[in-house]
Amino acid sequence: MEGGDVSLFQISIKKKMAERKKRIVTGDRPTGRLHIGHYFGSLKKRVEMQNSGEYDPYILIADVQALTDNFNNPDKVRKNVREVVMDYLSVGIDPKKSTIYIQSMIPEVAELTVFYSNLVTIARLQRNPTVKTEITQKKELFGESVTYGFLGYPVSQAADITALAGEFVPVGEDQQPLIEQCKEIVRKFNSIYGEVLVEPEIVLSEGKRIKGLDGNEKMGKSLGNAIYLSDTPEEISKKVMSAVTDPARIKKDDPGHPDVCMVAYYHKLFQEDQYEQVCKECKAGSRGCVACKKELAQVITDYLAPMRKIRAYYEERPEEVDKILIEGTKKAQETAKEVMKQVKKAMKLDYFSDEIK
Ligand code: TRP
């Protein structure tokens, strides 16, 4: 290569680096369909980031992590892989812009988990607020003593993020302690083995955590208070009609208290511009709860209609969903291999790297 070519080459590398989009890594456990809590808490933000064109998003279906508390139910995890992918596609995750892949098919993630487990203490994992809450919720599964795998899932999540050199992690606020733990692992790794890993940053949605239809602070499958992205108009209507309203309002023309009513709360979420009017009519006793609920059910149904339409398309074409996963997983494998090369070199584990692949 001649001098002129070298400088051209260097310029093109520099250009490439400057052009390289910021890497996003995020994902969900395939333990059930996704609901509007997931949507407002994280999915909406992911779609916005994807469409801004500034990011290179990798979205993983965390099947290994799902097994940490569903190890006795592999069918459930398997079945929900495609469901979650269809939920992603339905909200506007575009496989041309985002890479959707299966966690268990990236062996580097398992390898990194082992390497990182030296950099975390058991006490630190036991203090992780997310893990702590989940363990108390899962007493039935774990009894008095939690498994090694479940206690260690933050380590494997750190491997998910760093295996792909994730810089931004858009997730719900319940994930904050896990990202914090990942950052600690990255700092520890880099301080011992050299600056190899990227320290990620959490990206939270502006919106708060979505409450359940029953007024519970959290919407969740196990809590039975969720509206799923894939719910039919009938299911939506049935759920909304059973939502918790102002208990002090007995007769239709009693003045209502929208601040304690879940129906008013959802009006605000789905049609903020109408919220003031809804409250005014409710407080004046001129808006009956039944009519108010019927209106809300219609608003939610209309809001989710485009998602249902995309989902229906993919439900008819499971082979297209599989193709998206195959392509995405292949791409994620390539990226993880590159990162692993650097990690092994830094840890002095790069034996015979020219001879044995
Ligand atoms: N813990 C996440 C959840 O429960 C799923 C997850 C696994 C994840 N690996 C991740 C999220 C990496 C962001 C980045 O939904």
Pocket test for ligand 1, best of 178, 182, 199 (most atoms within 8 A of CB): 178
Burial of 111 (0-12, 13-18, 19+ CB in 10 A): middle
Could you identify the atom of ligand 1 that is nearest to the CA of residue 25?
Answer: 14
Task: Pinpoint the alpha helices (H) of the chain.
Answer: 3-19, 36-38, 44-52, 63-68, 74-91, 107-116, 122-127, 129-137, 139-142, 148-151, 153-163, 176-193, 233-241, 262-270, 272-283, 289-315, 318-346
Domain with CATH 3.40.50.620 in the chain: 3-210+317-346
Ligand 1 mean position, distance from CA 157 (Å): 6
Residue 106 CA to ligand 1 centre (angstroms): 15
* Distance between Cα 204 and ligand 1 center (Å): 14
Q: What is the pLDDT of residue 209?
A: 80
Question: What residue owns the CA closest to ligand 1's atom 5?
Answer: 28
| Atom number, ligand 1, closest to the C-alpha of residue 157 | 9
pLDDT for the residue numbered 2: 45
Cα separation, 285 vs 294, in Å, equals 17
**Which pLDDT does position 13 carry in this prediction?**
54
Atom of ligand 1 nearest to the CA of 65: 7
Residue 20 token pair: 């390289």
| CA 247 to centroid of ligand 1, rounded, Å | 38
CA 29 to ligand 1 centroid distance, Å:
7
Q: Are 92 and 137 in contact (CB under 8 A)?
A: no
Q: CA 61 to CA 35: how far, in whole Å?
A: 16
Determine how β-strand 55-61 pairs with β-strand 168-170: unpaired
Residues in Cβ contact with 185 at an 8 Å cutoff, skipping those fewer than 6 apart: 116, 119, 120, 155, 158, 162
Q: What are the per-10-residue average pLDDT scores of the chain (357 residues)?
A: 54 62 97 95 96 97 98 98 98 98 98 98 97 94 95 98 97 95 98 97 85 90 90 96 89 89 94 94 92 96 98 98 98 97 97 86
Q: How far apart are CA 262 and CA 271, in angstroms?
A: 14
Q: What is the pTM of this model?
A: 0.92
Measuring from each residue's beta carbon to the nearest atom of ligand 1, which residues come in under 6 Å? 25-29, 60, 62, 65, 157, 160-161, 169, 171, 175
The sheet carrying 168-170 orders its strands as 99-102, 55-61, 22-28, 168-170, 201-203
Distance between CA atoms of residues 181 and 154, nearest Å: 7
Q: Which of 46, 99, 23, 111 is nearest to 329 (CA)?
A: 99
CATH 1.10.240.10 placement within the chain: 233-314
User: Homologous superfamily of 233-314 in CATH?
Assistant: Tyrosyl-Transfer RNA Synthetase (1.10.240.10)
CATH topology of domain 3-210+317-346: Rossmann fold (3.40.50)
Q: Hey, how many other C-beta atoms are within 10 angstroms of the C-beta on 152?
A: 19
CA 164 to ligand 1 center in whole angstroms: 14
- For Cα atoms 282, 41, 101, give the angle at the middle one, nearest 5 degrees: 145
* Smallest CA separation from ligand 1 atom 2, residue: 28
For residue 84, the model assigns a pLDDT of: 98
What is d(CA 216, CA 209) in angstroms, rounded to the nearest whole number?
A: 11
